[in-house]
Amino acid sequence: MEEWSVDVQAVVDPELADDDEAIDSILAKLAPYGAALAFDQGGPHMSIQMTVEAEDFMAAIQKAVGLIVDLPYRIFPSGARVLTVADLQRELDEPPIPDLVGVAEVAEELQISKARVNELQDSPAFPEPVARLKSGPVWTRPSLTRFIDSWERRPGRPRKNSGASRVRSSARHA
């Protein structure tokens, strides 16, 4: 048997959210499973999160949904998110803020100047920043990684096509 965290979304009578006695009753019946309830503000949806022991994913869903439909209230499950408790803990341990990079980090990663990063932003293949701060644009590292993987870098300076050729000479005239 393994412990599973099951978060069941359900459609309910909107009045249930305001019925303290009913909520207390639901929490009491689901207390052995460490249940927590959340209601959409003014809407007919609720979330019931609980921990159950089961052999596998499907058995965990069946047990949680069975506990909910056996309650003496009109609660209609409409979806569920199921993770092992260990996977949930790993997820909770991850930082909630994505890995962000600015112009300086992009320049370092691509081994180009910050000015070149600003030029690359005009390319349709370059990712859109997730935010533009006073200090400049910021991107998520995964969006930058996708760009790097597909970027066809051409080394050297781009040729200027001026139409006229220039000749340089190192000879000095006296």
In sequence order, which residues have a C-beta less than 8 Å from that of residue 85 and are 6 or more positions away?
A: 2, 3, 4, 5, 51
Q: How confident is the model at residue 173 (pLDDT cuts 50, 70, 90)?
A: low
Q: Are 84 and 67 in contact (CB under 8 A)?
A: no
Secondary structure of 23-62 as H, E, C letters: HHHHHHHCHHHCCEEEECCCCCEEEEEEEEEECCHHHHHH
Whole-prediction pTM: 0.58
Cα dihedral across residues 109, 115, 117, 120: positive or negative: negative
Give residue-wise pLDDT tens across range 54-107.
999 999 999 999 999 999 999 999 999 999 999 999 988 887 888 899 999 999
Q: How confident is the model at residue 161 (pLDDT cuts 50, 70, 90)?
A: low
Alpha carbon distance 61, 88 (integer Å) = 15
Whether the per-residue pLDDT at 160 is higher than 70: the answer is: no
Average pLDDT, the chain: 87
**Residue 157's pLDDT is what?**
66
Tokens 């000095």: give the residue.
172
**Average pLDDT over every residue of 13-19:** 85
Give residue-wise pLDDT tens across range 119-131.
999 888 899 999 9
Name which residue leads in pLDDT, 109 or 65.
65
Cα dihedral across residues 54, 3, 84, 64: positive or negative: positive
Whether the per-residue pLDDT at 18 is higher than 90: the answer is: no
**Average pLDDT over every residue of 19-23:** 92
Cα Rg, the chain, nearest whole Å: 29
Give residue-wise pLDDT tens across range 31-56.
999 999 998 876 789 999 999 999 99
**Residue 99's pLDDT is what?**
87
In sequence order, which residues have a C-beta less than 8 Å from that of residue 2 and are 6 or more positions away?
A: 53, 54, 55, 56, 84, 85
